[in-house]
Copies of this chain bind each other. A is one copy, B any other.
Amino acid sequence: MSDLLERLRGRGWRMTAQRRVVAEVLNGEHVHLTADEVHARAVVRLPEISRATVYNTLGELVSLGEVLEVATDKRAKRYDPNAHQPHHHLVCARCGAIKDVHPGGNPLADLPDSERFGFTVSDVEVTYRGVCPNCAAA
């Protein structure tokens, strides 16, 4: 999305072919890719792109708040391009598939001061776990 590239250029990002490709891969499919999956797709368009650059670029996008890191399991981190609409995740315990969900309720309000231990709480992450229709059928 050129929106994204514009925003980044506005923040002083030097625009390179590598960064463009990574941003395009993330925006192209609205799924939750691992860093290596991003790399695999990026290599198709730009064969000489290195793993380190993909990791660096993903890290920068996360710092800039354009992409979210999702650590649903112990495996690889996943990257969620849908950073501008708050949402939570539904994860299949068998195959690891991830869906974005928008539950009602306000978990932040559900944590009383007495349970905050002096922390400054800024964010809540809700992960629903279950079995997806595909895995349930198998």
Where the two chains meet, the residues of A that have a C-beta atom closer than 8 Å to any C-beta of B are: 69, 71-74, 77, 90, 92-93, 99, 101-112, 115-133, 136
**In the complex, which residues of chain B have a beta carbon less than 8 angstroms from the beta carbon of A104?**
110, 112
A133 & B107 in contact (Cβ 8 Å cutoff): no
- Copies, count: 2
Q: Bound complex: CA of A37 vs CA of B28, how far in Å? A: 41
B121 & A90 in contact (Cβ 8 Å cutoff): yes
B107 & A131 in contact (Cβ 8 Å cutoff): no
A92 & B105 in contact (Cβ 8 Å cutoff): no
Least CB distance from A77 to B in Å reads: 5
**In the complex, which residues of chain B have a beta carbon less than 8 angstroms from the beta carbon of A133?**
117-119
Given contacts A74-B71, A115-B103, contact A126 B129 (CB under 8 A): no
CB nearest to A111 among chain B residues: B103
Candidate in A92, A119, A132 with the most chain B CB atoms within 10 angstroms? A119
